[in-house]
Structure 1
Amino acid sequence: MEGFLQRCRAALKTSGSSCKTVVPVLNIPRAEFPLRSDSVFLLKESGVPQEALVFRDEVDLAGLYRAKRLVLSLVDHNVLPSADIDLEEAVVEVIDHHHLERTPSTSCSVTMETVGSCATLVTEYIHHKAPEVLDRQVAQLLYGAIVLDCVNMAPEAGKVTPKDSHLACLLESRFPSLPPRGTLFQSLQSAKFDISGLSTEQILLKDMKAVSRGDLRLAVSAVYMTLDMFLQRKSLQRELCEFCHKHRFGAVVAMTISFNERSEPHRQLAVYSSSTLYREEVSQALEKARNPSLCISPMSSPFNDIKSYLQGNALASRKKVLPILKDFLKEWDKKQVHCGEAEDFEELDNHFDPTGSLGIDGDARPHCFSASRHHRRRLLGAEDYGTEEDFQVPATPMNSLVEGCPLDAGLPQISAEAILEKFSYMVGEAGENKDVSWPGDQ
């Protein structure tokens, strides 16, 4: 496999080459790969060096598309991110196990089935269409992904399907020297849950999906610790605020997960936003969800801008929560409420203080605004927003006793001498009045 990957990298560097090369591309920047600790571990154990891999920021897909040298197969997702939407015509194949979002097309073959692991569908595809590709190294990569995604094939976790079990057994029978299932799962699980030394930003990016509609972007992150441990992180509010500011998110949904000794998942939720509007709207969407119902119940939170929940439906993974949030964003967009436009982020840039210095109100919390005063007032109403108003010079009133306005001809001409005379008169009046104080007299 290493030789194949090296040839792929070489082919990408050969400009004008007419040969067709199949190149597996990891759809993340290379700098983020160390955060995928389970993938790092599995590739290392399978003898695949990181240097041989190709990452999204190392290949110019747009350039290849313009040169009419690009066809795309999407694996483990079925729609392109917004940044790559211009490449849609190049998509000819999809293999995925998530909810199908793309419009059916005769030019794109779609293999979609809601199994526990997309690697199950890839294994089936190879088994039927290219069995010669399946050597022990490839088998271990596929097998490790299936076992980890399906939580060691434990029915209690609610992930494994009969097809997952069938394809895992097929790999075991063809390659008896594969690591024992339980041992491999524990090693991968330990690597996946190892977040030692990571910042809050890295923990959120480690396993994150972003969803957006219109001007509102949400981050949905799987967090591999209990919610109590997450909320106790030092400077959590500051780091969450910085994360949203840096990546332009209106809110973050952190889905914490841990497992007991029987591989049963324990899930909790946290919704963060510096905007009360975003935080409440996202939280209500999750609370009211019925397909599926998350069965969430509020928990106490040490922070006003973080809402915490116990998730009673522990089988509702992020794959099932994402459609809920996407439906919410569709409804949000229908309201044509524009929060987070360019002017909003300009205001955020002006007010954001990463040092956490005291504001004018003495509040030491990081000041981070996700919507401008204008938009928040329009959304919440002047009474809900507060009494503060943008200062504007009022229009000159019309005089009801005359036609037109006394100032229609412009401001009256006042000489400098007249102004000085007026000020002298005011100072004289003040000197005679003992009750009048002027700035600086105290």
Structure 2
Amino acid sequence: SGVHVVLGNEACDVDSMVSALTYAYYLSKQMLALPLMNVRQSDFVLRSDNVFLLRQLSLSPEHLLFRDQLDLRALHQEGHLRLTLVDHNVLPSDNDLEGAVVEVIDHHLLEREASPTCPVTVEMVGSCATLVTERIIQKAPEILDQQLAQLLYAVVLDCVNMAPSAGKVTPKDSQVAASLESRFPALPPRGALFNTLQSAKFDVSLNTEQMLLKDMKAVSEGLNLAVSVLYITLEDFLQRAGLEAELSDFCLKFGFDLLLLMTISFNESKEPIRELAVFSHNNTCRHQTLFKGNSLASRKKLLPIVKDFLKGRDGHGHLGDMEDEEEESQVPPTPMNSLVEGCPLDDGLPHISAHDLEEKFS
């Protein structure tokens, strides 16, 4: 009569994979539920840390279900699809499937419209697996075993080994990790698990196209844009032979107008270093894409800025005059209050420029 699919995001990183696998397992105790990896089967080999984690737990990647192996659109058209999104809350490439979404669990900025038929759990924690673990502990702690706990324990990777200096871990992430540790003392030490997964993730034996596809998210708002996370220093990446031609070919092959390269590496103190580069065939687009931020800003924080940048462009590919738009907006009159004379908003809202917002965000 139908199937419930748990779908991670298009990057299919460790957090997305673990969240889809474990939440589908939780749901499978009540209904037919399948975890679906949101990449083609042939691309999964690029996720070297995902493959390493599965093999550590004696789970074969051959047993997973991939996006090119299940026709979600056909299921939806037949009225047989129920969809839960984990580690993302909208479907930028599959908006025709929105009607099938019945639940969302995510830790990114909420972009989804409220709906009485689709409960949404969105908290800005470091790892989506934290929210899935919390749900399982609250609703079905009896299903937890060593293998499931070790999958969920991969939150240490997305939270950069729970290091506050990395700017990703939250109190809830730490609380959930500690709860798993207390229930399953045989879990590997945090540092050891993080280091082995990190080593697997930083596999740079791939060619340029594979590196770009390995951890990429695409955005389309008038322009087609991709943000690729590269596990290498920017200096080392820029020294690859024939790089400019390879980036050009990549954009032409996949139809991207703009490519943001977000590198991450670690210094001797194991602190993350993030750098950002821009590639585009369009000179205007390339020069307008200027981002300022701090070294702790991950792609999760960068994507909302990118989307706002794209929405601010006019039909000719230029940024609109935001100041003129602000001046034309009308501030509603201040309600009368018999207890005070005047109000701080009598003269309208204070002017806040885009630069002010950017500085505040940084």
TM-score, normalization by structure 1:
0.64
Secondary structure at 1:279 match in 2: helix
Match of 1:322? 303
Measured in 2, the distance between the counterparts of 1:199 and 1:65 equals 37
- Gap runs ≥5 in structure 1: 9-18, 288-293, 295-312, 340-442
Equivalent of 2:254 in 220, 244, 247 = 247
Contact 1:158 1:315 in 2 (8 A): yes
Measured in 2, the distance between the counterparts of 1:180 and 1:258 equals 22
- 1:173-188 aligned within 5 A: 173-188=182-197
Secondary structure at 2:188 match in 1: coil
- Establish whether residue 336 from structure 1 lines up as the match of residue 347 from structure 2: no
- Establish whether residue 107 from structure 1 lines up as the match of residue 117 from structure 2: yes
Q: State the Cα deviation string for residues 334-383 of structure 1 (Å, max 9, x = none).
A: x12269xxxxxxxxxxxxxxxxxxxxxxxxxxxxxxxxxxxxxxxxxxxx
- 1:395-414 aligned within 5 A: none
- 1:85-124 aligned within 5 A: 85-124=95-134
Contact 1:95 1:121 in 2 (8 A): yes
Cα shift at 1:262: 2.6
Secondary structure at 2:297 match in 1: coil
Amino acid at match of 1:103: E
Q: State the Cα deviation string for residues 371-407 of structure 1 (Å, max 9, x = none).
A: xxxxxxxxxxxxxxxxxxxxxxxxxxxxxxxxxxxxx
Measured in 2, the distance between the counterparts of 1:134 and 1:93 equals 22
- Establish whether residue 78 from structure 1 lines up as the match of residue 84 from structure 2: no
Amino acid at match of 2:272: P
Match of 1:31? 42
Larger radius of gyration: 1
Cα shift at 1:103: 0.3
Cα shift at 1:34: 0.8
Cα shift at 1:261: 3.2
Cα shift at 1:154: 0.7
- Establish whether residue 213 from structure 1 lines up as the match of residue 221 from structure 2: yes
Q: State the Cα deviation string for residues 130-168 of structure 1 (Å, max 9, x = none).
A: 223221111111102x11011111111111110000000
Measured in 1, the distance between the counterparts of 2:268 and 2:125 equals 24
Q: What's the % identity of the aligned pairs?
A: 61
Contact 1:95 1:112 in 2 (8 A): yes
Match of 1:370? none
Secondary structure at 1:176 match in 2: coil
- Establish whether residue 148 from structure 1 lines up as the match of residue 129 from structure 2: no
Cα shift at 1:240: 0.2
Contact 2:92 2:219 in 1 (8 A): no
Amino acid at match of 1:268: E
Q: Provide closer, same or farther for how the CA distance between residues 68 and 153 of structure 1 changes in structure 2, counting only shifts above 3 A.
A: same
- Establish whether residue 261 from structure 1 lines up as the match of residue 268 from structure 2: yes
Measured in 2, the distance between the counterparts of 1:338 and 1:275 equals 9
Measured in 2, the distance between the counterparts of 1:139 and 1:263 equals 26
Q: State the Cα deviation string for residues 288-345 of structure 1 (Å, max 9, x = none).
A: xxxxxx1xxxxxxxxxxxxxxxxxx11111111111100001111xx12269xxxxxx
Equivalent of 2:203 in 180, 194, 201 = 194
Measured in 1, the distance between the counterparts of 2:140 and 2:75 equals 26
Cα shift at 1:120: 0.4
What is the alpha-carbon root mean square deviation over aligned residues? 1.6
Measured in 1, the distance between the counterparts of 2:316 and 2:34 equals 42
Match of 2:347? none
Amino acid at match of 2:85: L
- Establish whether residue 235 from structure 1 lines up as the match of residue 242 from structure 2: yes
Cα shift at 1:255: 0.8
Match of 1:131? 141
TM-score, normalization by structure 2:
0.78
Q: Which moved more, 1:116-125 or 1:255-264?
A: 255-264
Q: State the Cα deviation string for residues 172-218 of structure 1 (Å, max 9, x = none).
A: 1111111111111100000011121x11111111111111112x111
Cα shift at 1:38: 0.9
Measured in 2, the distance between the counterparts of 1:205 and 1:256 equals 13
Equivalent of 2:284 in 277, 298, 311 = 277
Measured in 2, the distance between the counterparts of 1:42 and 1:180 equals 15
Amino acid at match of 1:111: T
Cα shift at 1:128: 1.0
Match of 1:160? 169
Measured in 1, the distance between the counterparts of 2:158 and 2:255 equals 30
Contact 2:92 2:220 in 1 (8 A): no
Match of 1:53? 64
Contact 2:213 2:228 in 1 (8 A): yes
Measured in 2, the distance between the counterparts of 1:219 and 1:276 equals 17
Q: Which runs of 4+ in 1 moved over 6 A?
A: none
Measured in 2, the distance between the counterparts of 1:54 and 1:106 equals 30
Cα shift at 1:272: 0.7
Cα shift at 1:66: 1.4
Measured in 2, the distance between the counterparts of 1:210 and 1:101 equals 15
Measured in 2, the distance between the counterparts of 1:55 and 1:133 equals 25
Measured in 1, the distance between the counterparts of 2:196 and 2:84 equals 30
Measured in 1, the distance between the counterparts of 2:131 and 2:58 equals 23
Match of 1:410? none
Aligned length: 291
Cα shift at 1:228: 0.8
